[in-house]
Structure 1
Amino acid sequence: KTNLIVNYLPQNMTQEELKSLFGSIGEIESCKLVRDKITGQSLGYGFVNYVEPKDAEKAINTLNGLRLQTKTIKVSYARPSSASIRDANLYVSGLPKTMTQKELEQLFSQYGRIITSRILVDQVTGVSRGVGFIRFDKRIEAEEAIKGLNGQKPPGATEPITVKFANNPSQKTNQAILSQLYHSPNRRYPAPLAQQAQRFSRFPPMTIDGMTSLAGINIPGHAGTGWCIFVYNLAPDADESILWQMFGPFGAVTNVKVIRDFNTNKCKGFGFVTMTNYDEAAMAIASLNGYRLGDRVLQVSFKTNKTHK
């Protein structure tokens, strides 16, 4: 019970960021972000294996349901991999443009347990492309869904939908769609933001020297790891999960740290939060500086790189 599967990760989250997010809970034995074999793009899920079962349980309690950018992540125990659950991912096309992710899941849920679902949207207009993915718990469920839904018209649709297994190398069209979708990283934000986001988020992942980044330690204020935010006037019993919950809704948070007294293990009143994107960090600061948490008014600002004598 130490191995977790993490679903619904933001598209642009790296393996390093996944590792530092879960490494804040306890010592990690291994961590893997699953990527498309052909395009190299994140498939939006990964695995984290802890050394201690109690840390895995704590990670589920702390991080399941956490908002990261526009996603709400799902953290659960991973099932042992076996042939019966491999390749249970379906590619669905011809969906009505108005169909939501929830409706897509309702349509398919009669065939088995859905692990993840996704509808691809046009990055500029936000309108559905009529294409989606559904990953079932077991391959046999996916096969049943193909039998039951391929060539059928969903309720309220005028055209039949196509349902087939995803990631079959003969489906060149599937890959073409994926690569066309993903090879335009600067379209993730509306125009003015795009230029800034590109400036900030295109750091090569190994900007910190090899050793520290592998250990998942983020050096505060170091440009390569994002923007470090200083949070002051936290209560003595404040912990990391409070910081995740406060900053998560504003954008990608890669690391949080509460500074504790060595003897009492109580918070010394301050902590740090690292965010990937400058604009999201600035927005978080503007919104949370002066925020009342319990009976305290927080002070939130960019961390200044004062060298402590």
Structure 2
Amino acid sequence: MTFESTNPPSSGAPRPSDDILVRVNIALLRTLQQYVPPEIQFQFDLPAKEKLPGEPTVCLFLYDIQEDLELRHGESRVYQTGDGKFAPGRVNIRCCYLVTYWEPAQSQPALANGQSMVVMNTVLNALLNLHLDREVEQYLQRPVSLQVIAPSERLSSLGNFWQSLGDRPRLSLGFTVTVPLELAVPDDEKPVPPVMQAGALSTPSATPVLEALAQTFRRALVAAVLPGLDGMPTARVQLERLAVSCLNDGSKLDVPARISVAGLLDSACHKAVTAWLGTPGSWPDAVKALHDAKVDTGGLTEIKPLKSGGQPVD
């Protein structure tokens, strides 16, 4: 059985990629060369046991690359006024390195101030001072974070690591470099026109003038409806508990655009209140300013009496 790819063949040049890994290596090399003696060589892998370096060499081995989830956060894409597009999104990448020093085999034992110790000391100083080197960030064109760690935190077992290389353990230094990697931008992304004027969104609100108007409206409602409910001892209590608010439309502060009436009413009170609210022409002159406002009765709830079986009366 054979399978054919459903993807169309690629044509033209490959999509551009962010070369941040290459630039991190170059930035590390430039920094180390400022501290390490000039006769020391550098390479970015581990030497084979059968082919050790013929000269003193510092090896920087990039053994792990992963997304730094600890630094993941919501970062808005920056708007570029030049082309009217947003800058590419970024993902923080953590690069884990192991640094070792190699030199031709010597019959003499290593000393406290031997060359291997001196070289690794300069390497440690270079890495710890990397954040002070402004040229590094200028070269990378983005922020960089470096942390010296124990190699065993990223390698399953340091002893097994050296055993797999067929060599005896030696002094090593582990560190991580975290840098943002720029993501690709869709080909069909179109320019976005700039915002030339900023302002707050208009939202309905109640000003002191509208709050006073709402109280006047509630008193007018009670005065108009209560006489028709004479003989109902709870009518006044129900009407006095109604919540009335006047809101503007967000553009004109003291001009009412909506009247909201909410509360619990029995069937008789509910019928009388909704009937009065539905006839603005009968409203008194005290609330004349509200005649053109929209009346919202969604908050009014009718409480119907229950039958003997617990069902509400129709």
| TM-score w.r.t. length of structure 1 | 0.20
| TM-score w.r.t. length of structure 2 | 0.20
| The structure with more radius of gyration | 2
Higher fraction of strand:
1
Q: Which has the higher contact order (CA 8 A, sep 6+)?
A: 1
